[in-house]
A and B are shown apart, each in its own frame.
Chain A
Amino acid sequence: EAGVAQSPRYKIIEKRQSVAFWCNPISGHATLYWYQQILGQGPKLLIQFQNNGVVDDSQLPKDRFSAERLKGVDSTLKIQPAKLEDSAVYLCASSQWTGSNQPQHFGDGTRLSIL
């Protein structure tokens, strides 16, 4: 089966600019996650969707970050305006549904550099 698809793979922008990332989960997976991974750290959850609804966005910096999953399949994550501390890899993951024993499968990520 095809894995989680993300684009772009790399993005370089200047601070205060905006950027958007796209994710297409594994076919049939109802739950989609966006993580931020700063160099040398483990992934940190930003937002979790179940179909097209938000399950958990408690760690999303809502003053600058937004995400949507309008049709319950692919998703976009946007940062506007970007800050230097947003330099990180943004990972998208999916699982069949939201549950305690549902393994999450990750895409290749988007490496964001802020100048």
Chain B
Amino acid sequence: QKEVEQNSGPLSVPEGAIASLNCTYSDRGSQSFFWYRQYSGKSPELIMSIYSNGDKEDGRFTAQLNKASQYVSLLIRDSQPSDSATYLCAAGADRGSTLGRLYFGRGTQLTVWP
């Protein structure tokens, strides 16, 4: 059973701080990774995708991938109260009969306080 583990949280940071969210995955064959943001009662919203080792930046968000360590992270700089949500890490099943399937972690709940 392929697994994605996230730091359980909840994570609470002050406004303006850096929030760091971490994720590990079990399937060494995974090549695609995604971070989704989910507000309470809402559907997951894609915020970042990463496929290569290293960092990928998009505005205040930076995703980091280390395939050797099977580790993915999301940094949110200058955190805002509007960033308060649950963040879901997902790893893609990138071969065979499960191609295209995403394996999700349980999510990390982030609260940014003013």
Please list the residues of chain A having a beta carbon within 8 angstroms of any beta carbon in chain B: 31, 40-45, 48, 55-56, 58, 91, 95, 98-109
Neighbour of A107 across the interface among B32, B43, B95, CB < 8 A = B43
Q: Which residues of chain A are near B88, meaning CB under 8 Å?
A: 42-43
Q: Is the CB of B104 within 8 A of A44?
A: yes
Among B13-21, B44-52, B70-78, the stretch that binds chain A is B44-52
Residue B101 lies at the interface, judged by CB distance under 8 Å to chain A: yes
**11 CB < 8 A contacts A-B:** A42-B88, A43-B44, A43-B104, A48-B100, A55-B100, A95-B100, A98-B100, A99-B100, A100-B95, A104-B46, A106-B43
For the complex, give the distance between the alpha carbons of A55 and B110 in Å: 35
Please list the residues of chain B having a beta carbon within 8 angstroms of any beta carbon in chain A: 4, 31-32, 34, 36, 42-46, 49, 51, 88, 90, 92, 94-95, 97-102, 104-107
For the complex, give the distance between the alpha carbons of A31 and B94 in Å: 15
Neighbour of A106 across the interface among B32, B44, B92, CB < 8 A = B44
Neighbour of B92 across the interface among A55, A101, A107, A108, CB < 8 A = A101
Q: Is the CB of A45 within 8 A of B106?
A: no
Q: Which residues of chain A are near B99, meaning CB under 8 Å?
A: 55, 98-100
The A contact surface, by secondary structure, is loop
Neighbour of B104 across the interface among A42, A98, A108, CB < 8 A = A42
10 new A-B contacts at CB < 8 Å, known A43-B88, A100-B92, A108-B43: A42-B90, A45-B101, A56-B100, A56-B101, A58-B98, A95-B100, A98-B100, A101-B32, A103-B34, A104-B46
For B44, the closest partner residue in chain A by CB is: A106
A35 to chain B, nearest CB (A): 8
For B107, the closest partner residue in chain A by CB is: A42
Instruction: Answer whether A56 and B97 are a contact pair too, CB < 8 Å, given A100-B31, A106-B44.
Output: yes
